[in-house]
Structure 1
Amino acid sequence: MGINTNLTISVGMINPKRLYQEIGLGLQKRIASGEFILGERLPPEREIAEELDVSRSIVREAIIMLELQGFVEVRKGSGVYVIKLPDSLNDNQDPELNRNSDVGPFELLQARQVLESQIASFSASNVTKSDISRLRSYLDQERINLEDDKEDYECDRMFHLTIAEASQNSVLSDILQDLWDRRAESPMWQQLHARITSNTYRYQWLEDHEKILLALKKRDPEGARQAMWQHIENVKQTLFKLSDVDDPSFDGYLFR
């Protein structure tokens, strides 16, 4: 029997667009077609999400992408406006998106939530006194940084990476390190996060860290899993709320 050459996989299929890129490209095409004209306000985020049957976080990421590309801007207390008209696009003409491998910030948080909650559970059975001591030192320094109004997220990063190291599984540690590296190198994450000017939410996250540490000290796998899951859920919800341009209380945290 001969080989069925119809099963050959196209190279272009190996690296498909991310969903937020598909949504962003669709909006870009609608702008290019004249559906949204220069200076016009885009529909509310919730409306776009319902129309396309996707989550609001996906639409949020698509808007961030368009803002980074210079097609739209968010105006404080007003909405998202078209400020640049793209060239006419078709399905095979989207080089900008093909080059962009950035992970959406909410997609990244979701991946971390799934992975880190299980890592915390596993680490609760393997954590050592030395690990606990290191984690405590990071939280103490994190609190000092907050009280000094110092924007330093290194302690936050090291707290999470140390929990992964406490699993005593180098593969899990490497995977988590890669996710944090993606965050550090992500223009979309920086666009989302750098506009937040209040430290209030960070006190909530510090309290979450304390709950995670307590569960680890008790060697409570389920407690550690739940505490980590809830922590990253709080992070997602806080960042989503602070960057919600459709919310009347939006204060321009996300965009210039």
Structure 2
Amino acid sequence: MERSDNIIMMPFEPKRPYQELGLVLRQELTDGHYNVGDRLPPERDIAERLDVSRTVVREAIIMLELENLVEVKKGSGVYVINIPNQSPHREHIITDDAGPFEMLQARQLLESNIAEFAALQVTPGDIAKMRAALELERQELAAQSELCIGDEQFHMSIAEATHNSVLVDMLKNSWERREQSPMWQKLHSRISGHDYRQEWMEDHARILAAMQRKDPVTAKSAMWQHLENVKQRLLELSDIDDPDFDGYLFSSNPVVLFGGKQ
């Protein structure tokens, strides 16, 4: 950011909540609140200080990471590696993606209603496709495959059970957008292991059971809860803070207090 006649010149116009927060953190780097090598306060401290959710903080950190301003060391924290005004060529946004948790929220709203409608329209052929997708998920999990084809097929088979091509296209676009998103890929780069996929597969089994009973209320609730579980597990699995850091004991970050930075 640059100042001219007391007007702050933005490197880009923020459109999303995480971008607004990212600009605040970016400005703090520019203003000298942190030096190269410093660790940023934990996410929970940033969220409390700026009155935002942890998910928005997580997305803002990803934004700064993609701009090569910070480096994430999982289990340790976020460290400054560049200062914006010392690197003019970095004065731009790398991506205008929706944040990964914002994408999940949209999916939660869309797919829970798709599941409700699909439960009313579903045919035996649709149920067979859902079962096949769930079986593929089991096979991929047993093989500890990095592929998640069964997961996508299961969700798409529910959309197809609505027999509404517009809803199918909307969900397909949502998946394609996720797969092409640098923000989503960066979030997933911090996740290891496959245990969480077993939990999600069990969620899918509950959704399938509601479909088989043609129970729209339970189908909608089960899909909503499944995507809530996905959100919470991704937040947990991609946690970047030092678990032993005791910043929560202080009204503000002790590094800021004792380091003499304002």
Query: 1:158 corresponds to which residue?
Result: 153
Structure 2: distance between partners of 1:79 and 1:241: 14
Structure 2: distance between partners of 1:194 and 1:178: 22
SS in 2 for 1:195: coil
Query: 1:108 corresponds to which residue?
Result: 103
Structure 2: distance between partners of 1:125 and 1:249: 50
Query: 1:96 corresponds to which residue?
Result: 92
CA RMSD, 1 decimal: 2.1
- Following superposition, the deviation at residue 88 of structure 1 comes to 7.2
Structure 2: distance between partners of 1:30 and 1:16: 16
Structure 1: distance between partners of 2:21 and 2:28: 11
Q: Which runs of 5+ in 1 are unaligned?
A: 1-14, 251-256
- Following superposition, the deviation at residue 171 of structure 1 comes to 1.4
Structure 2: distance between partners of 1:39 and 1:247: 16
C-alpha contact 2:140 2:148 (8 A) present in aligned 1: no
Please tell me the residue identity of whatever aligns with 1:96: H
- How many residues end up aligned between the 2 structures? 232
Is 1:52 the counterpart of 2:47 in the alignment?
no
Query: 2:222 corresponds to which residue?
Result: 227
Query: 1:26 corresponds to which residue?
Result: 24
Deviations 1:16-39 (A, max 9, x none): 521101111111111011111111
- Following superposition, the deviation at residue 78 of structure 1 comes to 2.0
Structure 2: distance between partners of 1:96 and 1:238: 31
Q: Which runs of 5+ in 2 are unaligned?
A: 1-12, 246-262
Query: 2:15 corresponds to which residue?
Result: 17
Query: CA 1:192 to 1:249, structure 2 compared with 1: closer, same or farther past 3 Å?
Result: farther
Query: 1:83 corresponds to which residue?
Result: 81
SS in 1 for 2:92: helix
Query: 1:70 corresponds to which residue?
Result: 68
Identity of aligned residues (%): 56
- Following superposition, the deviation at residue 247 of structure 1 comes to 5.5
SS in 1 for 2:75: coil
Structure 1: distance between partners of 2:113 and 2:14: 28
- Following superposition, the deviation at residue 249 of structure 1 comes to 8.1
- Which 4+ residue blocks in structure 1 deviate beyond 6 angstroms? none
Please tell me the residue identity of whatever aligns with 2:135: D
- Following superposition, the deviation at residue 100 of structure 1 comes to 2.5
Q: Which moved more, 1:166-175 or 1:223-232?
A: 166-175
Deviations 1:49-68 (A, max 9, x none): 11111111000000011111
Structure 1: distance between partners of 2:212 and 2:182: 36
